[in-house]
Amino acid sequence: MRLLFGSLFALAVAAAVGLGATWIALTRGTAYGGVTIGAWTAWPKNGTPGIDPYARAMIARTGDLPVGSGDGVAFYARTDDGGQPLDGRCDVVVSGITPQARFWTLTLYDTEGRLVANSVQRQGFTSQEIIRKADGSFDITVGPRARPGNWLPTGGVEKYLLALRLYDTPIGVATRNGRDVPMPAITRRACL
Amino acid sequence: MIRMALWLVGALLLGGIVHLVTVLLLPRMATQDAYARVSAIAPVNAVVPVPSPTPEKAIMPFMDPAFAVSACRYDLSHGPLKFSVPISQAYTSVSFYTSSDVAYYAINDRAAGRRVIELDLMTARQRAELPQNEDITAADRLIVASPTTTGLIMIRALVTETAGTVSARNALAAAQCRPQ
């Protein structure tokens, strides 16, 4: 009787712990081998056969196709430089320069990876479209209301994330961190 | 009390095993992964355009809207495949994924170095069976070995207002992937 109770208890705990850990690992986005620079994180290994099992399980669940390492690398930002989650009701300025690449794209997604509807049908910028300052740096205002210059509309969504994809770039698996890789700063301004 | 603690330790160990097994099995069990999603629109061994993502509808999450994308779902069980795509003025890249969404090879227009990206796709076994001593092993024949018999080729071309949208779309439309 004791044995039966014990084994049932053990199996129940094992199932709860095991499945719970899997669920948390796959929904919280805790993949290994990330390169974090400021608010931006990339997983260059996800675009290679060396992708780790957690990342594989995660992309199998979300239905995402990682950018191949011979193609480019994708950086994601969920917060600003101060660690505050990106809020579509606030103005956020993405400013500075990007690492060396043939070109890049900046795209705004909701937390599920969908594009966000807005009045001007603009979901992102490419490096060829933006207006730059005399020294080559740029400012992109991400916010709910129209702004002069480079304005990326948020559509007023509560939470969003930014993807900066560098194509044909030396940044990749061998990149360790920020020193020689300048990523644009993400600064929060006023909120609605 | 000690017996209870032992049961708990055993349960936690078993839980760890359950966790690892589910993580490792999930890519094989997934029914809504990228390969399955593209399979729903792509016949075998043919290039089909993938609809551009919109806020209402996208085949996959996190698609880059700056690109026009075509896909070829390949099956090498009846022999190797010939793939080619002409290069437009815009950035063009070709990425290869296994049927479990692992990116194993990618090449772009600059790395290809000419007007057409042209290559032969085959499994490691088919490659080993190739005759060794003929001229066809010359450097101008790019051979890509697929780790799996089925998988995806994704062809991406940059479409922006400045970079020749029409020529990029024409290049994608002229892409070919067919058995030899």
- What residues of chain A score a pLDDT lower than 70? 29-31, 176-180
B51 lies in the same domain as B99: yes
* Number of domain units in chain B: 2
Closest Cα partner for A97 from A66, A67, A142, A130?
Answer: A130
Angle, in degrees to the nearest 10, between helices A53-62 and B2-29: 60
Q: What does each C-alpha distance from A33 to A11, A42, B43 come to in angstroms?
A: 33, 9, 35
CA distance B92 to chain A (A): 9
Helix (H) or strand (E) holding A88: none
Residue B68's CATH number: 2.60.40
For A67-103, the pLDDT digits (tens) are 998 899 999 999 999 999 999 999 999 999 998 899 9
Residue A141 CA from chain centroid, whole number? 18
Domain extent at residue B18 = 1-30
* pTM (2 d.p.): 0.88
Same structural domain, B23 and B57: no
The reply to whether B42 and B13 lie within a common domain is: no
Q: How sure is the predictor about B163, in pLDDT bands with cuts at 50, 70 and 90?
A: low
B136 and B57 in a single domain? The answer is yes
Give the integer Cα–Cα distance in Å for B151 and B123: 11
What pLDDT score was predicted for residue A13?
86
If phi > 0 it is left, if psi is from -120 to 50 it is alpha, else beta; for residue B101 that is left
Q: Do both B93 and B166 map to the same domain?
A: yes
Burial class (CB in 10 A: 0-12, 13-18, 19+), A14: buried
Instruction: Give the three-class secondary structure for B169.
Output: helix
Sort A129 into a burial class: Cβ within 10 Å, 0-12 / 13-18 / 19+. middle
CB contact under 8 A, B102 and A124: no
Distance CA A86, CA A108 (A): 11
Collect all residues with Cβ–Cβ distance below 8 Å to A129 and sequence separation of at least 6: B160, B161, B162
Residues B23 and B68 in one domain: no
Same domain, B81 and B26: no
What is the pLDDT, as a whole number, of residue B1? Answer: 78
Listed by start position, the domains of chain A span 1-30, 33-191
The whole-chain average pLDDT of chain B stands at 87
- Mark whether B95 and B18 lie in a shared domain: no
> Using a CB-CB distance cutoff of 8 angstroms, which residues of chain A are in contact with residue B64?
105, 107, 124, 163, 165
A17 vs B12, B60, B154: nearest CB: B12
Q: Which CATH superfamily is domain A33-191 in?
A: Domain of unknown function DUF1214, C-terminal domain (2.60.120.600)
> Are B12 and B43 in the same domain?
no
Co-location of B163 and B128 in the same domain: yes
Residues B49 and B129 in one domain: yes
Q: Cβ separation of A124 and B91 shorter than 8 Å? A: no
Q: Using pLDDT thresholds of 50, 70 and 90, give the confidence band for residue B27.
A: confident
Contact B139, B122 (CB under 8 A): no
Q: Cβ separation of A61 and B30 shorter than 8 Å? A: yes
Q: Which residues contact A20 (CB under 8 A, 6 or more apart)?
A: none
Task: Report pLDDT for A36.
Answer: 86
How far apart are alpha carbons B39 and B53 in whole angstroms?
A: 17
Are B16 and A117 in contact (CB < 8 Å)?
Answer: no
| Interface confidence: ipTM more than 0.90 | no
